[in-house]
Chain A
Amino acid sequence: MTRKINVNVNHVTRVEGHGNIVVNVSNGKIEKCEWQVPEAPRFFEAMVRGRHYSEVARITSRICGICSVGHTLASVKATEDALGIPVTRQTIQLRRLLKHAENFDSHIVHVLFLVAPDLLGAKSVFPLLPTHPEVIKAALRLKRFGHEWGSLLAGRTTHPTRVVPGGFAELPTETELATLQERLINEVAPDINLVLEVVSSLAPLFPAFDRPTEYMALHDTAEYGLYDGCIQTVMPDGTKEQWKVDEYRKVTNEYVNSQSTAKWTRNKLDSYAAGALARFNNNFQQLHAEAKAVAKALGMTPLVANPYLNSAAQVVETVHSMHTSLQLIDELLSTGLRQEQPGLPAQHGAGSSAVEVPRGILFHHYSYDQDYMCLQGDCVIPTNQNHANIQLDFEKLVLELVAADKSEAEMELALEMLVRAYDPCISCSTHYLNVKFVR
């Protein structure tokens, strides 16, 4: 092995935000292997200072256009915690239904538009239009449906209008909920079945690569944790440990890494993973039976240590969200929707929250003064938490690829696919430092 390998991908494509891959190998020796993030910083935590509590979620939802529902939910939950704002069971159930909509919507985009082209040997979804028209049309229909599903509850999915601290400013009608349920059964289920066929046929093409790590996710005793719960991690040996949400700083431990100067996180090991696979590994038993069946068909039982299978875990979750939502709508319709005024502040102080957004566990924390004006904000986003894990995956993967004598092009594709598998959302740049690389 005397050859030189230089992989230098500037602004990885088909991911949200800007990231670079730099790998230099000489005579079989790795000289450089880095996952870099040059996204422009936007200073959201500074921007919320001095804003009224009713405006804070409207600001922090703008951290990310793809998970803006999740940022909104995390934001209103943290504000409710800080200000003692009560929410009703109805609000919680509607928010759970909204959370399912967001994960469904985002997973469809990621798996079908961003990941599938790699497995089919295409550069993007566009060359697949003539070859796989039915699947692409189904994917666009499902994407549109996810958007309509979320919009029914949130007003719109990109920067929600209706979700406010204390509840909802506007509710869907019972007829709209019933129609949503019918469409899930009559329109979505057949399209999802088509997608499952395609994914099953492509599953053997996911690269074989294992690197067990610590997996962090919300754990909820009531259900597969997405909207609420405590923080839980599962170690490679299956050991689980739990923390309260307001202890989030203890498990995220943000630090500046001297190699990349980007803020990373770690808990028990040098890195941990967040996202669909982390949720799957933590909470598999609580998945809907239909979702478990899909996991079984894809050959997945926890603990799954192949990060490429995060995309497969997203497919499993899509099925879980579809079926769980049917039950949620049943419950909402059986009790009937009541018009409720959003709850109001009863105290002031600090509060925290955690929500599972498509890419993993998201933390928001705010403090407020006696006029309910925001004093300080802190957001720890999932992509941030996956950064160190991607780097460590890179280091193991490159060694394996070099040992297998892979070409530069093969190595570049494998690394890009790995980054995409994590579904990074780099614009959630709250904590990212803007790195200028001198090469």
Chain B
Amino acid sequence: MSKPKVKVAFFDFASCEGCQIELTNLGDTVFLGLLEHIEIVEFREVMKETTSQRIDIAFIEGSFTREADRPRLESIRARANVVVAYGSCAATGGINALKNHQTDYREFVYGKDAEMPHLDSFQAQPISAAIQVDLAIPGCPIDQAEFARIVSDVLHGKAPTVPNYPVCVECKLRETVCRYQSGDHCLGLVARAGCGAPCPADGVPCEACRGMVDSPNQPALLQVLMEKGGLSQLRAETKSRLWTARFRNEE
């Protein structure tokens, strides 16, 4: 007799929903293979069905950016055994946190209408700021292979891990020429690995979309960005705001 399938649901908050799209990019073999082990019981972007039953794993995409979203997050937590924040928006606040150091973003985008109460949006925060999260998979977007591996780990009862070494390690492993050698700059030296370092291999710098490793040496990063990367002090200081605004110790 076959084992009952694991019930999985997907939810989204402030995000581009690109991590969901990455799931559809898994293709027929991997996707249909996964469906032999899991049953997708709720996924608003692709299905009308919902469930009132207990959810084994809830995958949440997007940042927590407004109080109005808290009850929906709490209800997901109450219905699910395991909550996984997937994608950088959910795991770290992601690109949405790039507005966190600004105070006038509402006025800038909405002009005279900025004071309307429904525009209330506080600093972008990870899902863990609202509810307990069991596992976070960073990445903008998520790495398909890492996602499949982590789902497999959870299904097999193995504790999944996300690396705590920098992207530089993965560039060395795939023999990518360092961006600094090409006269560019890069955040790979403090960025959390696990993506396989696709950006430097494609000729562009790592922007640390997965956040930084634990205890990054930020003074050294500044020095390298200026001395080896040729960035002005202003650019060097604001460089890592892109995806790691919440990790920066100056703000």
Query: Are A and B associated in one complex?
Result: yes
Expressed in whole angstroms, the Cα–Cα distance for A261 and B238 within the complex equals 35
Query: Is residue A11 within 8 Å, beta carbon to beta carbon, of the partner chain?
Result: yes
Binary interface encoding of chain A residues 259-296 relative to chain B, with 1 for a CB under 8 A from any of its CBs, else 0 = 00100000000000000000000000000000000000
Output the least CB separation between A146 and chain B (Å). Answer: 9
Quick check: A16 and B45 within 8 Å, CB to CB?
Answer: yes
Expressed in whole angstroms, the Cα–Cα distance for A117 and B24 within the complex equals 17
Query: Is residue A14 within 8 Å, beta carbon to beta carbon, of the partner chain?
Result: yes
Instruction: Given A14-B48, A434-B66, verify A162-B203 contact (CB < 8 Å).
Output: yes
Query: Is residue B1 within 8 Å, beta carbon to beta carbon, of the partner chain?
Result: no
Quick check: B28 and A58 within 8 Å, CB to CB?
Answer: no
Query: Is residue B198 within 8 Å, beta carbon to beta carbon, of the partner chain?
Result: yes
Expressed in whole angstroms, the Cα–Cα distance for A206 and B141 within the complex equals 35
Query: Is residue B80 within 8 Å, beta carbon to beta carbon, of the partner chain?
Result: no
Quick check: A59 and B98 within 8 Å, CB to CB?
Answer: yes
Query: Considering residues A40, A45, A427, which has the most beta carbons from chain B within 10 angstroms of its beta carbon?
Result: A40
Binary interface encoding of chain B residues 27-68 relative to chain A, with 1 for a CB under 8 A from any of its CBs, else 0 = 110011001000010011111110000000000001001101
Contacts of B96 in A (CB 8 A): 42
CB-CB contacts below 8 Å: A118-161 with B: 123-126, 129, 137, 140-141, 143-144, 147, 155-159, 161
Expressed in whole angstroms, the Cα–Cα distance for A13 and B10 within the complex equals 12
Quick check: A47 and B98 within 8 Å, CB to CB?
Answer: yes
Query: Is residue A164 within 8 Å, beta carbon to beta carbon, of the partner chain?
Result: yes
Quick check: A435 and B118 within 8 Å, CB to CB?
Answer: yes
Contacts of A52 in B (CB 8 A): 235
Contact for B17 among A16, A124, A159, CB less than 8 A: A16
Expressed in whole angstroms, the Cα–Cα distance for A124 and B35 within the complex equals 15
Output the least CB separation between A397 and chain B (Å). Answer: 20
CB-CB contacts below 8 Å: A4-27 with B: 11, 13-17
Query: Considering residues A49, A140, A435, which has the most beta carbons from chain B within 10 angstroms of its beta carbon?
Result: A140
Quick check: A161 and B198 within 8 Å, CB to CB?
Answer: yes
Quick check: B98 and A157 within 8 Å, CB to CB?
Answer: no
Contact for B48 among A62, A63, A124, A431, CB less than 8 A: A124
Output the least CB separation between A152 and chain B (Å). Answer: 12
> A-side binding surface: helix, strand, loop or mixed?
loop
Query: Considering residues B47, B69, B141, which has the most beta carbons from chain A within 10 angstroms of its beta carbon?
Result: B47
Expressed in whole angstroms, the Cα–Cα distance for A161 and B44 within the complex equals 28
Contact for B28 among A49, A144, A157, A430, CB less than 8 A: A144
* B-side interface size class: 35 or more
Instruction: Given A114-B46, A124-B47, verify A47-B40 contact (CB < 8 Å).
Output: no
Write the chain B residue with the least CB distance to A16: B17
Instruction: Given A55-B242, A126-B47, verify A159-B141 contact (CB < 8 Å).
Output: yes
Quick check: B121 and A41 within 8 Å, CB to CB?
Answer: yes
Contacts of A68 in B (CB 8 A): 16, 18
Contacts of A157 in B (CB 8 A): 21, 25
Contact for A65 among B17, B40, B99, CB less than 8 A: B17
Contacts of A159 in B (CB 8 A): 18, 140-141
Query: Is residue B13 within 8 Å, beta carbon to beta carbon, of the partner chain?
Result: yes
Output the least CB separation between B73 and chain A (Å). Answer: 12
Contacts of B46 in A (CB 8 A): 14, 113-114, 124-125
Expressed in whole angstroms, the Cα–Cα distance for A147 and B17 within the complex equals 16
Write the chain A residue with the least CB distance to B100: A47
Query: Is residue A46 within 8 Å, beta carbon to beta carbon, of the partner chain?
Result: yes
Quick check: A65 and B16 within 8 Å, CB to CB?
Answer: yes
Quick check: A15 and B116 within 8 Å, CB to CB?
Answer: no
Expressed in whole angstroms, the Cα–Cα distance for A52 and B231 within the complex equals 11
Quick check: B95 and A66 within 8 Å, CB to CB?
Answer: no
Query: Is residue B70 within 8 Å, beta carbon to beta carbon, of the partner chain?
Result: no
Query: Is residue A329 within 8 Å, beta carbon to beta carbon, of the partner chain?
Result: no
Output the least CB separation between B102 and chain A (Å). Answer: 6
Contacts of A204 in B (CB 8 A): none
Query: Is residue B162 within 8 Å, beta carbon to beta carbon, of the partner chain?
Result: no
Query: Is residue B119 within 8 Å, beta carbon to beta carbon, of the partner chain?
Result: yes
Contact for A17 among B17, B106, B117, CB less than 8 A: B17
The 6 lowest CB-CB distance pairs between A and B, nearest first, are: A65-B18, A124-B47, A169-B203, A144-B27, A140-B28, A46-B105
A/B interface sample: 27 pairs, CB < 8 A: A13-B45, A15-B45, A16-B17, A47-B102, A51-B238, A51-B242, A62-B95, A65-B20, A113-B24, A123-B47, A123-B48, A140-B24, A140-B28, A140-B31, A144-B26, A156-B141, A157-B25, A158-B18, A158-B25, A159-B18, A159-B140, A159-B141, A164-B204, A170-B201, A427-B16, A433-B119, A434-B119
Other 13 A-B pairs with CB < 8 A, given A43-B99, A46-B104, A159-B141: A14-B47, A16-B17, A16-B45, A40-B13, A40-B14, A47-B98, A47-B99, A125-B46, A126-B49, A143-B24, A144-B27, A147-B25, A433-B110
Residue ranges of B at the interface with A (Cβ–Cβ < 8 Å) = 13-22, 24-28, 31-32, 35, 40, 43-49, 62, 65-66, 68-69, 94-96, 98-99, 102, 104-106, 108-110, 113, 116-121, 124, 140-141, 198-199, 201-204, 207, 232, 235, 238, 242
Residue ranges of A at the interface with B (Cβ–Cβ < 8 Å) = 11, 13-17, 40-43, 45-47, 49-52, 55, 58-59, 62-66, 68, 109, 113-114, 117, 123-126, 129, 137, 140-141, 143-144, 147, 155-159, 161-162, 164, 169-170, 256, 261, 371, 427, 430-431, 433-436
